[in-house]
């Protein structure tokens, strides 16, 4: 492998002695050669296997010449919208256009199209009619089967059909992309690649689909929300690489989209090999004039120690993308990366993060997972920790100690999130002590998300009592260490299951805590989450029971305003919400009140409680009927 960035121009390709690249990689992000960016990992993995890759970052989707920089690739096009779904990248939950794009040089918005994967593939097909197209990344992965699209507010077909691509490499694609490359290189036609784990393909031959579970047809899920809820839960229960079944859905009775089981997780040595590839660890120098790529700042001095998450939050799509089985790098791999990182001229002595989707998950949740997979219909931590859960922070604690001891390292932070219920399940308090002593800088961010158990149950999060227990443990540990450090809770409004009653309950919790968050995350219905399925169907797909969901923008605004009830701009919304919830008692001058009455206005009268009717009166109203014959 040659050192340096992968070629982005025909001249750079020729300088490597290559006339025609094996693959051309079209991406919606700027080209950042860092292992936190999916396109960098996939292209470097292919390069390590002897395949050449030309990078086309953020092409002009209105100009067909923009994807012809390298001509036709020998094996095929790879297409990804980037590190985020392009619609999440472009729009807030209120569907307002965002002002900046951290994955674009200079943070400029608008350098990629909406539904970028589909648009790029359609552009390629206009020029190269028969060249294989393989799509991947988070956008393709989470839209691989029929799905609800929040931005158009309708069911959409598999992205494989709308894009005109030949194959989806879903999830973390290191295994599947190499198998695809080797198959194409051996002369197998793209339409015959029906056997690779971690892929989705299309076919018109029903007889070729074997050992598979049939999902409701697209026509059925488009017409019936109940059918979609059932389909989604079947998909959810078949995301595991060991026990997941092959799935397929039908379109117009003659076209079939088939999802093969997920690719097997990487071993520790395989993870180490991926992260040891010769990444340049920064953005392409051509972006320097525009001010660089802002997203690099979040990861430049952070270390990925694991992938996967068995936390199982219902609003998170990790189950569908990285999976629930933890895959971890070795200490040696992480420390070697840290040793090279500290010599960066911009390194100031602070490692910003050591973690993954959940920082304190460093091994599978139980011993059986790497042979039998995760339990399809059970969670490791919800509603309470499983009796088979392996709770041990020793490995993570040891890793952090080694990193703290490195020359030039002043502090090692943990920013990717601690699962506090897992921490509490550990009978050894040493990790909590070292967390407070060495890895917090005044504030620790945690994610209780809500305080109402009715909402937490729909979120798949631990009960409010567990969070309160963690708050006490954290407070007591800091007192023991003589440190003044605080918790910053992440909270979510308008999640399915939350009415104004639960929103007021959350506001009261914040009042008692004496804390008002600067930012509030309104529930965002992104593809392939249980919570999004609840939002669209009004049903909990796990039980098929109805779930209340705030879909009216005004009600969602009221729920959000209640979390920031102290903000004067939210006064009218908070007042309206309290009146609608029947909580006039929270408008007044008492210390328990959330807001005061309007100027010159008396506090709303509290509705008098109905007095219970005395038992004697009840008997008088409903006298016992005498039995016949008496």
Domain hosting residue 517, numbered range: 446-452+468-622
List pLDDT tens digits, range 494-541: 999 999 999 999 999 999 988 888 878 999 999 999 999 999 999 999
Residues 39-64 have pLDDT tens digits of: 999 999 999 999 999 999 999 999 99
The reply to whether 460 falls in a domain is no
Is 68 a domain residue?
A: yes
Pairing of strands 133-136, 147-149: unpaired
The answer to the question of residue 215 being in a domain is: no
Q: Let me know: does 550 contact 484? Beta carbons within 8 Å.
A: no
* Cβ atoms of residues 436 and 481 within 8 Å: yes
Q: What is the mean pLDDT of the chain?
A: 93
Contacts of 610 (CB under 8 A, 6+ apart): none
Show contacts of 294-299: CB within 8 Å, 24+ apart.
294/100, 294/102, 294/103, 294/107, 295/29, 295/32, 295/83, 295/102, 295/103, 296/32, 296/34, 298/102, 298/352, 299/34, 299/36
The per-residue pLDDT for 565 is 95
Answer yes or no: is pLDDT of 106 > 90: yes
Among 173, 201, 229, identify where a domain stops: 201
For residue 250, pLDDT beyond 90: yes
Among candidates 313, 234, 229, which has minimal Cα distance to 547? 229
Average pLDDT over residues 278-298: 96
Q: How confident is the model at residue 412 (pLDDT cuts 50, 70, 90)?
A: very high
Greatest Cα-to-Cα distance within the chain, rounded to the nearest angstrom: 110
pLDDT at 231: 98
Q: What pLDDT is recorded for position 515?
A: 85
In this prediction, residues 294-319 reach a mean pLDDT of 95
CB 347 within 8 A of CB 217: no
- The residue that leads in pLDDT, 615 or 148, is 148
pLDDT digits (tens, 9 = 90+) for 575-588: 999 999 999 999 99
pLDDT digits (tens, 9 = 90+) for 171-212: 999 999 999 999 999 999 999 999 999 999 999 999 999 999
Over residues 420-437, mean pLDDT = 96
The average pLDDT across 54-83 equals: 97
What confidence score (pLDDT) does residue 194 get?
Answer: 97
pLDDT band per the 50, 70, 90 thresholds, residue 325: very high
The answer to the question of residue 47 being in a domain is yes
Please identify, among 169, 201, 233, the residue that sits at the C-terminal boundary of a domain: 201
pLDDT score recorded for residue 608: 55
Q: Which residues pair with 202 in a beta bridge?
A: 257
Least Cα distance to 306 among 326, 289, 283, 281 occurs for 326
Is residue 165, in this structure, part of any structural domain at all? yes
What is the arithmetic mean of pLDDT over 213-221?
A: 98
Helices of type H across 132-279? 137-142, 159-163, 174-185, 218-223, 225-236, 268-275
Instruction: Pick the last residue of a domain from 147, 176, 201.
Output: 201
Q: CATH no. for residue 97?
A: 3.40.50
Does 240 map to a domain?
A: no
**Does the pLDDT value for residue 605 go beyond 80?**
no
606 has a pLDDT exceeding 70:
no
506 lies in some domain: yes
User: Sign of dihedral through CA atoms 368, 372, 375, 379?
Assistant: positive
Which of the four pLDDT bands, split at 50, 70 and 90, describes residue 1? low
Asked if the structure places residue 342 within a domain, the reply is no
Domain count, the chain: 2
- Tell how strand 255-259 and strand 246-251 pair up: antiparallel
Give me the pLDDT at residue 622, please.
Answer: 42
Nearest by Cα to 110 from 127, 90, 129, 85: 90
């Amino acid at each position: 492998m040659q050192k340096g960035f992968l070629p982005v121009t025909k001249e750079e390709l020729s300088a490597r002695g290559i006339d025609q690249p094996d693959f051309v990689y079209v991406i919606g992000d700027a080209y950042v050669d860092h292992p936190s960016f999916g396109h960098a990992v996939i292209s470097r993995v292919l390069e390590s296997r002897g395949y050449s890759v030309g990078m086309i970052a953020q092409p002009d989707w209105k100009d067909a010449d923009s994807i012809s920089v390298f001509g036709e690739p020998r094996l095929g096009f790879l297409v990804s919208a980037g590190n985020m779904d392009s619609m999440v990248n472009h729009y807030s939950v209120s569907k307002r256009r965002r002002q900046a794009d951290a994955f674009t040089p200079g943070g400029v918005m608008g350098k990629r199209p909406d539904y970028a994967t589909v648009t790029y593939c359609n552009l390629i097909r206009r020029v190269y009619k028969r060249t294989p197209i393989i799509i991947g990344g988070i956008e393709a992965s989470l839209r691989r089967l029929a799905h609800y699209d929040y931005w158009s507010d309708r069911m959409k077909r598999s992205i494989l059909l709308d894009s005109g691509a030949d194959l989806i490499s879903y999830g973390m694609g290191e295994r599947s992309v190499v198998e695809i490359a080797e198959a194409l290189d051996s002369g197998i036609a793209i339409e015959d690649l029906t056997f690779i784990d971690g892929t989705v393909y299309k076919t018109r031959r029903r007889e070729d689909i074997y050992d598979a579970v049939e999902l409701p047809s697209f026509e059925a899920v488009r017409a019936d929300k109940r059918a979609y809820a059932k389909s989604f839960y079947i998909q959810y229960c078949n995301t595991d690489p060991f026990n997941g079944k092959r799935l397929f859905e039908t379109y117009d009775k003659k076209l079939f989209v088939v999802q093969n089981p997920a690719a097997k997780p990487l071993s520790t040595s395989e993870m180490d090999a991926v992260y040891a590839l010769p990444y340049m660890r920064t953005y392409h120098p051509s972006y320097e004039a525009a001010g660089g790529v802002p997203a690099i700042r979040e990861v430049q001095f952070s270390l990925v120690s694991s992938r996967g998450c068995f936390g199982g939050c219902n609003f998170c799509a990790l189950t569908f993308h990285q999976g629930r089985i933890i895959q971890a790098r070795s200490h040696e791999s992480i420390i070697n990366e840290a040793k090279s990182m500290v010599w960066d001229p911009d390194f100031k002595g602070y490692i910003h993060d050591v973690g993954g989707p959940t920082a304190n998950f460093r091994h599978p949740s139980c011993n059986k997972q790497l042979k039998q997979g995760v339990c399809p219909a059970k969670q490791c931590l919800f509603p309470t920790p499983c009796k088979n859960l392996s709770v041990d922070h020793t490995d993570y604690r040891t890793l952090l100690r080694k990193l703290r001891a490195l020359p030039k390292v002043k502090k090692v932070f943990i920013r990717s999130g601690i699962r506090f219920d897992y921490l509490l399940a550990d009978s050894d308090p040493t990790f909590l002590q070292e967390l407070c002593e060495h890895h917090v800088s005044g504030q620790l961010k945690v994610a209780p998300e809500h305080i109402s158990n009715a909402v937490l149950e729909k979120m798949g999060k631990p009960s409010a009592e567990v969070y309160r227990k963690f708050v006490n443990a954290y407070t007591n540990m800091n007192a023991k260490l003589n440190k003044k450090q605080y918790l910053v809770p992440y909270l979510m409004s308008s999640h399915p299951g939350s009415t104004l009653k639960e929103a007021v309950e959350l506001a009261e919790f914040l009042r008692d805590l004496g804390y008002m968050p600067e930012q509030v995350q309104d529930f965002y219905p992104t593809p392939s989450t249980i919570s999004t399925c609840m939002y669209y169907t009004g049903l909990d797909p796990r039980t098929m029971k109805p779930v209340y969901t705030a879909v009216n923008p005004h009600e969602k605004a009221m729920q959000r305003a209640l979390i920031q009830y102290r903000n004067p701009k939210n006064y009218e919304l908070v007042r309206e919400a309290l009146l609608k919830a029947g909580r006039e008692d929270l408008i007044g001058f008492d210390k328990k009140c959330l807001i005061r009455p309007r100027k010159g206005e008396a506090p709303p009268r509290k509705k008098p409680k109905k007095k219970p009717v005395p038992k004697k009166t009840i008997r008088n109203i409903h006298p016992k009927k005498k039995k016949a014959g008496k």
